[in-house]
């Protein structure tokens, strides 16, 4: 008797085993190519760690796709390459090119440290492959009125921006052992469940493959990590989850379809948003790295790496549970659940002071040069007091 869950189990196991087997190989390749993270004042690691874990994750996904092909050809498994009704004639070969492009971009960055614009160009090229393949956000359906809003020519730039944003939020959250890979594992498994429930076999197959690959990689990436994801991995995670979300993970091809994957990726989104606000408030470049991310704040509160990561896993699991419930209820309860998740996350963000600047401008009294100081510098306390005074005056003027 045919069991519908068996192909997905095989995909999961294939991706997991492939990642387990190839991670040590990826580690050796990274050492040989010099793709290594050395300790510095903004990194958490205290010893050199190779950073090309994306090789193992990518191999895991490929292994799952090979198993799916063999199962379809020889074991009469059902076809999974069936796009959602609102996606017209998806070209899965072009989509594979998109995955190759984002992976290659990450590999080049791991080895050669690409400039930001070069890395962005690779992300845009990968997104263009997805658009060319027919995976786009073209119609948004209001769940309250069931009315359809057609994006028209804006379909393509909005899709590209959506995918590039999804790629970068996972790139930015990758700051602790096992953090990005663990969050992606939880998020992809949630998307798998929702995809199965909505009958989206292509999204389900890709999601369970990513879940298996990241779980296998976590064997080596969880604290104490012997290898990092690197950009070859973090960019791939964001791109894969973005593609899964657009292949439709809910029953309604509309506003809920867009909101659900955003809530699932809530922690990386909050972390990225707070970083932008934090740096803008202090008049620091948005691209300037700092130690004000969620994991930095948790460690500053006294948690160790493992505890900080597990707290963020639990937070993500809560968001994923909420998204599951959102897809099972009518409009008003759905809005209430979303509001509750938003309030809880906002309270946690406030408790951790995510929007408080951790880089401030300081004028060197000897040279007159403008420099950036962090809490590790003795001048920071003085500059923070000045910053708080300016904020208080600005708040008083606007009352």
Contact 23, 227 (CB under 8 A): yes
Structure tokens at 316: 């993500």
Q: How far is Cα of residue 111 from the mean position of the Cα atoms in its chain? A: 21
Q: Is 271 annotated as a binding residue?
A: no
Strand partners for 24: none
Q: 54 by DSSP, 3-state: which?
A: helix
Q: Is 231 annotated as a binding residue?
A: yes
Say how far apart CA 269 and CA 275 lie, in whole Å: 10
Say how far apart CA 314 and CA 216 lie, in whole Å: 20
Question: What DSSP assignment string belongs to 104-154?
Answer: HHHHHHHHH---HHHHHHHHHHHHHHHHHTT----EEE-TTT--EEE-GGG
Say how far apart CA 143 and CA 329 lie, in whole Å: 12
Question: What DSSP assignment string belongs to 298-341?
Answer: HHHTT--HHHHHHHHHHHHHHHHHHHHHHTTS-HHHHHHHHHHH
Kindly report the backbone phi and psi dihedral angles of residue 134, in degrees, each rounded to the nearest multiple of 5, phi listed first.
100, 5
Residues forming the annotated binding site for Mg(2+)?
A: 171, 231
Residues forming the annotated binding site?
A: 171, 231
């Amino acid at each position: 008797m045919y069991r519908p869950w068996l192909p997905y189990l095989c995909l999961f196991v294939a991706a997991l085993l492939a990642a387990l087997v190839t991670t040590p190989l990826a580690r050796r390749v990274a050492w040989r190519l010099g793709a290594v993270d050395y300790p510095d004042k903004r990194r958490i690691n205290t010893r050199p760690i190779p950073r090309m874990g994306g090789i193992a994750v990518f191999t895991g996904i490929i292994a799952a796709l090979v198993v799916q092909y063999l199962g379809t050809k020889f074991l009469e498994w059902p076809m999974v390459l069936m796009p959602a009704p609102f996606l017209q004639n998806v070209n899965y070969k072009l989509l594979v090119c998109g995955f190759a492009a984002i992976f290659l971009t990450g590999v080049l960055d791991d080895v050669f440290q690409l400039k930001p614009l070069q890395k962005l160009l690779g992300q845009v090229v990968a997104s263009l492959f997805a658009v060319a393949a027919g995976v786009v956000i073209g119609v948004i359906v209001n769940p309250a009125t069931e009315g359809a809003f057609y994006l028209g020519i804006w379909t393509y730039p909005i899709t590209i921006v959506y995918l590039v944003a999804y790629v970068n939020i996972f790139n930015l959250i990758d700051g602790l052992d096992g953090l990005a890979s663990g969050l992606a594992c939880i998020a992809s498994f949630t998307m798998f469940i929702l995809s199965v429930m909505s009958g989206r076999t292509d999204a389900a197959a890709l999601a369970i493959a990513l879940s298996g690959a990241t779980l296998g990689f976590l064997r080596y990436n969880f604290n104490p990590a012997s290898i990092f994801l690197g950009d070859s991995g973090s960019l791939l995670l964001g791109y894969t989850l973005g593609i899964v979300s657009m292949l439709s993970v809910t029953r309604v091809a509309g506003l809920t379809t867009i909101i659900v994957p955003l809530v699932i990726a809530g922690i990386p989104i909050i972390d990225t948003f707070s970083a932008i606000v934090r740096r803008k408030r202090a008049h620091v470049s948005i691209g300037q790295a700092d130690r004000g991310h969620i994991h930095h704040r948790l460690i500053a509160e006294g948690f160790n790496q493992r505890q900080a990561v597990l707290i963020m896993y639990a937070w993500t699991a809560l968001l994923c549970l909420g998204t599951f419930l959102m897809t099972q209820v009518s409009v008003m309860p759905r809005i209430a659940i979303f509001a509750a998740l938003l309030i809880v996350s906002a309270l946690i963000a406030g408790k951790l002071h995510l929007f408080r600047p951790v880089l401030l401008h300081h004028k060197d009294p000897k040279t007159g040069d403008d420099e950036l100081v962090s809490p590790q510098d003795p001048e920071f306390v003085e500059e923070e007091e000045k910053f708080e005074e300016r904020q208080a005056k600005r708040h008083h003027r606007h009352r």
